Amino acid sequence: MTIRLLLRFALALLLCAASGLVFAATPKAFTATYRVLRDGSPMGEATVSLKPLDNGQWEYSKHVRGTSGLAAMLGANLDEVSHFRWKGDVPEAISYDYRLDAAIKTKQRHVTVDWGKHRVTVDEGKGATTYPSQPGMVERNTTALAIGLALRDGQKKLALPVAVKQDVETQRFQATGREKIIVPAGSFDTVRVDRTDADRGFSAWYAPERYPLPVKLSQKDGGDLTMELVSFR
């Protein structure tokens, strides 16, 4: 009986492979660099990295350094570090740390998820806020990664539960067409993705067959900021 079950399992795997229904692998560790522009002018550089941790979790980090213009004068630096676990191809949130340092301003946010109690805790230094978690929930830092993996898996529309300051917000994204994009890393035939549930001016251009991150990202919420891929390794 055991041999029959093993044979059936092996046959099922072969049929899935033949029909293209194999599960996509989670991405390997990487480091990507971007140039950052504000209103079309160079402002800084960003480093985005993904790596596995010893406890079965993964770390996804983004570090932005102001190197030109007002950002350099103010010594502006932004650090975002996320820890998550894979739930299928979704980077399900475990913790998120945000810190902005500049000469005139410092801002921070710490988010933790207790999956045993199904609770999210957000602390910005003025008292913690808690609210219920949702399965498959990401946070602001890992959203771009989650979108890229969904595109790689053939999804054209995506509704992501995102842990924000006071609750879990369902953010909706849609692939709106293909565009040729030229960035410092080269020329890419990309899929453009726009956020459709809010007027926040979010657009991202992905080459999902090559990278899980966008080769270009434009965000108008809080200023006209653009990130363009320089290298990926």
Q: What is the pLDDT of residues 79-127, one digit of tens each?
A: 999 999 999 999 999 999 999 987 777 899 999 999 999 999 999 998 8
Mean pLDDT, residues 163-185:
96
Would 7 be classed as within a structural domain?
no
Lowest mean pLDDT across 17-26, 61-70, 156-165: 17-26
Summarised one tens digit per residue, pLDDT across range 122-139 is: 999 988 999 999 999 999
Give residue 178's pLDDT. 96
Give residue 137's pLDDT. 97
Give residue 3's pLDDT. 47
Assign 194 to helix, strand or coil.
strand
Would 228 be classed as within a structural domain?
yes
Would 153 be classed as within a structural domain?
yes
Q: Closest by alpha carbon to 90, among 152, 176, 132, 30? A: 152
- Give the whole-angstrom CA distance, residue 223 versus residue 233: 29
Give residue 106's pLDDT. 87
Determine whether 133 is exposed, middle or buried from the number of CB atoms within 10 Å of its CB (0-12, 13-18, 19+). buried
Would 8 be classed as within a structural domain?
no
Would 10 be classed as within a structural domain?
no
Domain of residue 115, residue span: 25-232
| Beta-carbon contacts of residue 188 (< 8 Å; ≥ 6 apart) | 180, 181, 182, 205, 207, 210, 215
CATH of the domain at 141: 2.50.20
Would 15 be classed as within a structural domain?
no
Would 91 be classed as within a structural domain?
yes
Summarised one tens digit per residue, pLDDT across range 58-84 is: 999 999 998 776 555 455 799 999 999
Mean pLDDT of the chain: 87
- Give the whole-angstrom CA distance, residue 163 versus residue 2: 45
Would 16 be classed as within a structural domain?
no
Partnered with residue 161 across adjacent β-strands are 170
pTM for this one?
0.85
Number of domains in the chain: 1
Q: Is the pLDDT of residue 13 over 50?
A: no
More confident residue, 192 or 125: 192
* Unique residue bearing structure tokens 């475990």: 94
Summarised one tens digit per residue, pLDDT across range 218-232 is: 987 656 889 999 999
